[in-house]
């Protein structure tokens, strides 16, 4: 017998669970179908940065809403914990991008974000162990930091369940049913389920899932290595950092470790189900070579561990959000490795689009799938270029 639900969400990463959380708050009883386990894909390997500096205003707005309305009062708004740690955040830009840095900070300030341009000398005061001779200015967000992506996902899931959502793990979608131009349900390895709304939040699998609804999503898989390094005992305090001058990002991980990763050399177009979790050959050496230019004491560190994550990368490295294909079918994918920090606002905005016909929390219309066919990829007003080289 086919089970009926108000909506089916394919994928139990932080985006799918956020959508379920917000739909359940609005009174729907959504079903989340996950081919493996909760947060087993990109979410479980997220670096967890919570920052608002983007070169696209709409992404900054999604991040700001997620920060100001969710992360800083998670227990009251969602319930449970998200593990948010306020460390501050620095965006270090190349000298030739100073005007772009200032333009982006101005746009973010107009949104109400607490951010400012600070000098290299100010950065040295924040992080005395940094070398600061490679740049003149940085953007600084004193309120930002990082959170735990798995904890965030599970706490939203618990709340969604309390409001009537259902989760099925190890449940792979095999086909999507369409009748008279509308989605009607799915077939899975655990049976059939019907719903008038289906949301594709399948991460690296999103393009494959979309094909089941005769929808083409131009995604490639993107595989990213992240290292956990032992924190040198003499290293002083430092914020979370994205450093374009040395092509890496890093942040504290508790009191004993440093999380760090590069912005280049990530592998592309591996199969979504590739089991190889081996980091690329030169990842660690290149990462240390780059980090030492900013933080010389990293040479006193040692490797704790490396994990390898995989996400769906869109052509402009921006999210794909909105209705697509048959009536009732929606996509929330292509987050391109930066989706965690915007996930609460994405869930709120998608739920509004689905139920009200238009997003209100943040206008997400610019993230529509059709932009690629129209030859209108998203570009920042003061763009830095692609994050992942």
Select the more confidently predicted residue: 114 or 269: 114
Strands 240-243 and 248-253: antiparallel
- Predicted local distance difference test score (pLDDT) of residue 268: 78
- Predicted local distance difference test score (pLDDT) of residue 153: 98
Q: Would the pTM count as exceeding 0.85?
A: yes
- Predicted local distance difference test score (pLDDT) of residue 178: 98
> What mean pLDDT, rounded, does the chain reach?
95
pLDDT average, residue stretch 366-386: 95
Q: DSSP for 152-215, please give it.
A: HHHHHHHHHHHTT-EEESS--EEEEEEETTEEEEEEETTEEEE-S-EEE--GGGHHHHHHTTT-
pLDDT average, residue stretch 259-272: 83
pLDDT average, residue stretch 258-271: 84
* CA–CA separation, 70 and 72 (whole Å): 6
- Predicted local distance difference test score (pLDDT) of residue 276: 62
pLDDT average, residue stretch 166-175: 98
- Copy the structure tokens of residue 261: 């990763």
- Predicted local distance difference test score (pLDDT) of residue 26: 98
pLDDT at 1 over 60: no
> pLDDT tier at 147 (50, 70, 90 boundaries)?
very high
Task: Note the pLDDT tens digit of each residue in 293-352.
Answer: 999 999 999 999 999 989 999 999 999 999 999 999 999 999 999 999 999 999 999 999
pLDDT average, residue stretch 206-215: 98
Separation of CA 169 from chain center: 22
- Predicted local distance difference test score (pLDDT) of residue 266: 75
| Residue showing tokens 């930091």 | 145
pLDDT at 112 over 90: yes
- Predicted local distance difference test score (pLDDT) of residue 185: 98
> pLDDT tier at 2 (50, 70, 90 boundaries)?
confident
- Predicted local distance difference test score (pLDDT) of residue 272: 82
pLDDT average, residue stretch 91-116: 97
> pLDDT tier at 389 (50, 70, 90 boundaries)?
low
- Predicted local distance difference test score (pLDDT) of residue 387: 81
């Amino acid at each position: 017998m086919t089970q009926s639900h108000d909506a089916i969400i394919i994928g139990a990463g932080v985006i799918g669970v956020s959508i379920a959380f917000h739909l359940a708050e609005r009174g729907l009883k959504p079903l989340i179908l996950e081919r493996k386990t909760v947060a087993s894909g990109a979410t479980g390997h997220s670096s967890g940065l919570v920052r608002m500096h983007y070169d696209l205003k709409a992404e900054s707005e999604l991040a700001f809403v997620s920060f100001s309305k969710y992360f800083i009062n998670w227990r009251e708004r969602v319930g449970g914990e998200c593990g948010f740690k306020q460390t501050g955040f620095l965006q270090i830009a190349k000298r030739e991008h100073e005007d772009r840095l200032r333009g982006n900070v101005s746009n973010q300030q107009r949104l109400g974000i607490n951010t400012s341009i600070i000098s290299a000398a100010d950065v040295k005061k924040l992080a005395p162990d940094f070398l600061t001779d490679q740049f003149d200015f940085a953007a600084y967000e004193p309120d930002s930091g990082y959170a735990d992506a798995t904890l965030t996902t599970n706490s939203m899931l618990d709340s969604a369940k309390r409001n009537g959502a259902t989760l099925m793990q190890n449940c792979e979608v095999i086909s999507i049913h369409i009748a008279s131009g509308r989605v009607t349900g799915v077939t899975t390895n655990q049976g059939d389920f019907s719903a008038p709304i289906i949301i594709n939040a399948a991460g690296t699998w999103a393009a494959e899932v979309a094909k089941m609804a005769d929808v083409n999503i131009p995604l490639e898989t993107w595989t990213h290595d992240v290292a956990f390094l032992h924190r040198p005992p003499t290293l002083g305090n430092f914020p979370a950092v994205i450093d374009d001058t040395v092509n890496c990002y890093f942040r504290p991980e508790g009191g004993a470790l440093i999380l760090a990763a590069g912005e280049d050399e990530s592998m592309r177009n591996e199969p979504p189900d590739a089991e190889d979790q081996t980091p690329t050959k030169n990842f660690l050496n290149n990462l240390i070579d780059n980090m030492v230019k900013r933080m010389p004491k990293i040479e006193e560190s040692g490797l704790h561990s490396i994990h390898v994550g995989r996400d769906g990368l869109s052509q402009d490295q921006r999210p794909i959000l909105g209705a697509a294909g048959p009536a009732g079918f929606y996509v929330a994918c292509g987050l391109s490795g930066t989706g965690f920090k915007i996930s609460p606002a994405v869930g709120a905005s998608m739920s509004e689009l689905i139920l009200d016909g238009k997003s209100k929390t943040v206008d997400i219309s610019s993230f529509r799938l059709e932009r690629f066919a129209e030859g209108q990829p998203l570009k920042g007003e003061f763009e830095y270029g692609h994050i992942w080289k």
